[in-house]
Amino acid sequence: MSNLAKSLESECRMVSGCDALRQIISPKARDLGGFSVKRILPSRGMKAVGPWVFFDHMGPATFAAGDGINVRPHPHIGLATVTYLFEGQIQHKDSLGTDVAVLPGDINLMVAGHGIVHSERQTTAVTKQPHHVHGLQLWLALPQSHEQCEPAFHHYDSTSLPNINFDGGQAKILIGSAFGQSSPVITFSETLYAEIQLNQGASLQLPDVEELALYIVQGDLAIANITMADHHMAVFSNDKILTVTAQSDTRLVIIGGASLGPRYIDWNFVATDKNLIETAKQRWQQQQFPSIPGDADDFIPLP
């Protein structure tokens, strides 16, 4: 944990009303296809928030011409990936035959179910010149009744996602319902994901859901009389409704929903039963997962 997070938690214990904050999570750097990402979940002491079991902040990253994201084919089970970009473009291909450009503001939800393979790369048209990438990639654990479902891919254009303007900012409901609006994105359990822009000095009352966290993409917030910096996640107690205030122009996301209970996570596999993960490992080692049309010549080996 960073010194900033330690000092925040130490201060939190001394502030009246700070019991609304359950934990503050600092980012850890991880390599993803040749560039560094900030990993928030899973974290020590916090494996999930509602159904969300994985949270990566990509960038902001600048690539020189000829360079870019190149994540080779790899498998998933028991989860749904959710990719959301603020800037840039990534080409998603999967074993269902999906071949789609992930663009800023869209939601792309890939349901792994009993097994899917995908790659995330950038096209020659993108990499032939200097470019930027900035976004978030999250994983949703599927409920036990759906973790072995048929794989699927769902794309939702930015224009289909509700935007809400309020005094001092705006909110975009990516998944679930909040602030009187609901997203059309498919859900498998109670799930919340929203992007919020707050002007300096503006306040926002957070939604009341079973489990809730916010992540500051850029800017800083006053939370229970504590100023929290960007690239940190605040996880809240489920019996507290809290108002946050932007100390500068701030972009944040909120995630949450109903808890699904514990999950086993090993590499790219999520399951309620370790045997499902061991079977998936064997399938990948023996190349028994389906291949990606047009992208079957390379893959990421099992660690």
pLDDT per position in the chain (303 positions), as tens?
A: 333 333 333 333 323 345 778 899 999 988 765 677 999 999 988 999 999 999 999 989 999 999 999 999 999 999 999 999 999 999 999 999 999 999 999 999 999 999 999 999 999 999 999 999 999 999 999 999 999 999 999 999 999 999 999 999 999 999 999 999 999 999 999 999 999 999 999 999 999 999 999 999 999 999 878 899 999 999 998 666 689 999 999 999 999 999 999 999 999 999 999 999 999 999 999 999 999 999 999 999 999
pLDDT of residue 21: 84
Question: Are 151 and 114 within 8 A, CB to CB?
Answer: yes
The answer to whether residue 295 is domain-embedded is: no
Maximum Cα–Cα distance across the chain: 58
Say if residue 184 is preceded by a cis peptide, omega within 30 of 0: no
The answer to whether residue 293 is domain-embedded is: no
Mean pLDDT estimate for the chain? 91
Listed in sequence order, the residues at least 6 apart from 125 whose beta carbon sits closer than 8 Å to its beta carbon are none
The answer to whether residue 302 is domain-embedded is: no
Tokens of 38: 């900030």
Identify the H or E element spanning 211. Answer: strand 211-218
The answer to whether residue 273 is domain-embedded is: yes
* Cα 126 to Cα 107: distance, rounded to the nearest angstrom: 20
- In 3D space, the residue among 222, 223, 214 whose CA is nearest the CA of residue 194 turns out to be 214
- pTM value? 0.91
Residue bearing tokens 């010194």: 3
The answer to whether residue 300 is domain-embedded is: no
The answer to whether residue 109 is domain-embedded is: yes
**Over the stretch 225-258, which tens digit does the pLDDT of each residue have?**
889 999 999 999 866 668 999 999 999 999 999 9
Question: CATH code at 33?
Answer: 2.60.120.10
pLDDT of residue 33: 56
**What is the extent of the structural domain holding 164?**
3-285
Give the residues across from 134 on adjacent strands. 87
The answer to whether residue 203 is domain-embedded is: yes
The answer to whether residue 158 is domain-embedded is: yes
**Over the stretch 7-51, which tens digit does the pLDDT of each residue have?**
333 333 323 345 778 899 999 988 765 677 999 999 988 999 999
Domain count, the chain: 1
pLDDT of residue 180: 95
* Cα 262 to Cα 258: distance, rounded to the nearest angstrom: 12
